[in-house]
Homo-oligomer: A and B are copies of this chain.
Amino acid sequence: MIRKSLIFFFTFVFSLFSLFSGEKSNYDYVNPFIGTGGYGHTFPGAVVPFGMIQVSPDTALKEVGNSYPWCAGYQYSDKTILGFSHTHFSGTGHSDLGDILLMPISGKLLMEPGEENSPETGYRSRFSHKSEFAQPGYYRVKLSDYDIDVELTATKRVAFHHYSFNKKSPSYVILDLIHSIYYFKEKNVWSYLRVLNSNLVVGYRQTTGWAKNRKIFFAVEFSRPFSDYGYKRYDENFYYFRSKGKLIKLKNKREAHEIYGKKLRVFFDFSGIKELYVKVAISGVDIEGALKNLRKEIPDWDFERVRAEAKKAWENELNKIHVKGSEKNKEIFYTALYHLMIAPMLYQDIDRRYRGIDHQIHKAENFTNYTTFSLWDTFRAAHPLYIILYRERIGDFVNSMLKHYEQSPEGMLPIWPFHANETWCMIGYHSAAVIAEAYLKGIKEFDYEKALDSMVSTATNKNYGGLRYYEKYGYIPVDKEVEAASKTLEYGYDDYAIALMARKMGKKDIFKRFIKRAFFYKNIFDKNTGFMRAKKSDGKFREPFDPLRANYGGDYTEGNAWQYTWHVLQDPEGLIRLMGGSKKFVKKLDKLFKIKGDEKKYGSVEDMSGFIGQYVQGNEPSHHIAYLYNYAGYPWKTQKKINLIMKRMFDNTPFGIPGNEDCGQMSAWYIFSALGFYPVSPVENIYIIGKPLFKEAAINLGKDKEFNIIAKNLSEKNIYIKKAYLNGKRLKRAYITHHELMKGGTLTFIMSSKPNKKWASDKKHLPPSAYSRFRAYVKD
């Protein structure tokens, strides 16, 4: 008895302490509104880490062409909410989803969304950010037109809504199966709804769009029975079942329990009910899967328990890094860590069934299936960060990619897949890089032989991205294939990844073939202009050329020559040599951060934002560039630039992300950079040191291991590294290895207001890359 009381006493004291000390947990620092304005394209709704269901308010229904700002369904500057849909992308620059919109309303029954500027014309409602509150796994808002309070939380596959109807008036829940993110006229291929009873409806929705061939199944359960329901079908003479059982226009009464068509909206009448809870489960497999998910993940109606469990799931993940620093920086940092864990998304039912890329139903044996791999973005820093923080999930990610390969009609690894569809978005075959990195960093939970086969198969597919010309010419010829310069450059890094994996596996032929390809970047470097350029099949560079010109379908991908010329992740050393040595290289790099573009002349390009000169923090091709100074022996310049970028480009406001968050990549860049290092070439197993943001940081590596980063004397002015120690021993190089990081230890920086230009400037201390390691395999 005494013991118990004591424990209770200590627990109580400890709680009081936390409460009164005002100490905020990592969880408390997360602000899901960061990035919801401008180009961040994040959403504020409720999701658990890597969760399949992502329920969030949508503030607009926009047609493709006018929908870029609404990639995540929500824009902070909007004044109305349309409702709460269940699938979203976090931070993408192209979009889709927004499935199964639910909206509680009261008063007049309105089945159409209505106009933004006169929300009373439809079911949408005004709202104020003052009434909004969001934490990981929880979202709350007041729909002010109706005086309805909405709370949302979620498990992995089930969203939990709570509506409080505060007015006494007829009240309804609208289920809009037309609503979509990136809407267009032919988006809705088919939808189906079945009323199982007055508390439970099920159905599916089939759409085309970014995913050409997508199906999502759902089950919606209400805590109270609806007294009536009805629907409008917009693709035919509509049928309409008006409230109170009075039929207005219903083609066939017998069809009332089963509703289908291309464009459907349904209402459920909850008049007289004050508190309503709604559970919405989704499945990529079938209705039965959605029902199972619903029943097993939330068997009761305990909203607070589900909310607390979501919070706990987030705390477990967010506590993997602890930092000490300003409140603002901690808010940005933990929000970045939060955004890191929204994609990839789980994509299998609770019974392990999932829809494969072959549109067949499979059972995931010995792995968990994930979808939404924004690989062109995330191979850079997000996947490297997952390997450090969420090592236990890497096998699942890789196996999901290998299953995609097995099921792919083209025999290819994923490019940009989601919900059992390949979108073919962006360029490269970066899943090869992600898989090679997992192998090289010792992830054991996948079949290496099959993986290497899949990488070679993908990297040699004659129908993909000009690959049929690649080895013949030694580059992608721009007269045969668009975005040829970017492709040649990006393929090179993926080829390097394949080569390194093949080498370690003892596959000499594969190694030799791909290490050659890893140096193809040299073939498109134009010594005259000093830029990487698109070359034609006749061996001549394409004219006219302007290094400031960026365009889609041209020579580069979401960028221009100024940004892409540095895109030799696997071999900055070789690039420096091409440019005539370190000094010339650094001079050009300095210029990058100064030279101005000409928007009037060239127009702006979607996805390019966050400029410092022609450096574009808002888009991925620039992400490694500030770290390249290290390769030339000028780490102090990296420190200066990183300090500048972090300060100027990130903020703890809705507009605090400089460009698309891109499924974790932008956040991973920030987290790495804030910790003080960055993986320029993830397969090289090193991290290039930049400039730490926090005085203290600790990465929990599991099994009681920690890696600590201490920045002594760090201040607004003391942004330069004077000295560095690894586990108490002087560190003379400006990088650390993956092995050093993962075994735990302490990296100590002594900061100063003056650059230490000598530190890590010796040739022998420069980071390794392809040239120093493998130049023997190519002609110089």
Residues of A with Cβ closer than 8 Å to B? 186, 189-190, 192, 194-196, 204, 206, 208, 212-213, 235, 252-258, 260, 262, 286-288, 358-361, 409-410, 424, 463-465
Contacts A186-B235, A256-B463, A260-B213: A360 and B287 contacting too (C-beta < 8 A)?
A: yes
Q: Report how far A256 CA is from B462 CA in the complex, Å.
A: 12
A254 contacts B286, C-beta separation under 8 Å? no
A190 contacts B192, C-beta separation under 8 Å? no
| Most chain B CB inside 10 Å of its own CB: which residue of A194, A196, A253 | A253
A424 contacts B254, C-beta separation under 8 Å? yes
Q: What 7 additional pairs, Cβ within 8 angstroms, besides A254-B463, A254-B464?
A: A194-B359, A196-B409, A212-B260, A254-B424, A258-B410, A287-B358, A288-B360
Cβ 8 A contact of A189, one of B189, B257, B359? B189
| Minimal Cβ-Cβ distance residue in B for A287 | B360
Q: Report how far A286 CA is from B358 CA in the complex, Å.
A: 11
A-B complex: 6 closest residue pairs judged by Cβ atoms: A257-B409, A258-B409, A213-B260, A194-B409, A253-B463, A254-B424
Q: Report how far A463 CA is from B252 CA in the complex, Å.
A: 10
Q: Report how far A361 CA is from B235 CA in the complex, Å.
A: 28
| Minimal Cβ-Cβ distance residue in B for A206 | B190
A252 contacts B424, C-beta separation under 8 Å? yes
| Minimal Cβ-Cβ distance residue in B for A464 | B254
Query: Would you mind naming 6 contact pairs between A and B with Cβ atoms under 8 Å apart?
Result: A253-B463, A254-B424, A255-B424, A256-B463, A257-B409, A287-B359
Quote the shortest CB–CB distance from A553 to chain B (angstroms): 13
Q: Report how far A252 CA is from B410 CA in the complex, Å.
A: 13
Cβ 8 A contact of A286, one of B195, B212, B253, B361? B361
Quote the shortest CB–CB distance from A353 to chain B (angstroms): 11
Contacts A410-B254, A464-B254: A360 and B190 contacting too (C-beta < 8 A)?
A: no
Quote the shortest CB–CB distance from A412 to chain B (angstroms): 8
Quote the shortest CB–CB distance from A587 to chain B (angstroms): 41
| Minimal Cβ-Cβ distance residue in B for A357 | B258
Q: Report how far A235 CA is from B208 CA in the complex, Å.
A: 12
Residues in B with CB closer than 8 Å to A190 are 189-190, 206, 208, 213
Cβ 8 A contact of A192, one of B192, B256, B359? B359
Contacts A189-B190, A358-B194, A424-B252: A257 and B287 contacting too (C-beta < 8 A)?
A: no
Quote the shortest CB–CB distance from A415 to chain B (angstroms): 8
Residues in B with CB closer than 8 Å to A286 are 360-361
| Minimal Cβ-Cβ distance residue in B for A212 | B260
Q: Report how far A217 CA is from B186 CA in the complex, Å.
A: 23
Residues in B with CB closer than 8 Å to A258 are 409-410
Quote the shortest CB–CB distance from A94 to chain B (angstroms): 15
Q: Report how far A288 CA is from B356 CA in the complex, Å.
A: 12
Q: Report how far A208 CA is from B233 CA in the complex, Å.
A: 14
| Minimal Cβ-Cβ distance residue in B for A462 | B253
Q: Report how far A257 CA is from B464 CA in the complex, Å.
A: 12
Quote the shortest CB–CB distance from A594 to chain B (angstroms): 39
Residues in B with CB closer than 8 Å to A186 are 235, 262
| Minimal Cβ-Cβ distance residue in B for A286 | B360
Residues in B with CB closer than 8 Å to A288 are 360
Quote the shortest CB–CB distance from A427 to chain B (angstroms): 11
| Minimal Cβ-Cβ distance residue in B for A257 | B409
Quote the shortest CB–CB distance from A540 to chain B (angstroms): 25
Residues in B with CB closer than 8 Å to A409 are 194-196, 257-258
| Minimal Cβ-Cβ distance residue in B for A361 | B286
Q: Report how far A194 CA is from B421 CA in the complex, Å.
A: 13
Q: Report how far A189 CA is from B263 CA in the complex, Å.
A: 12
| Most chain B CB inside 10 Å of its own CB: which residue of A235, A255, A409 | A409
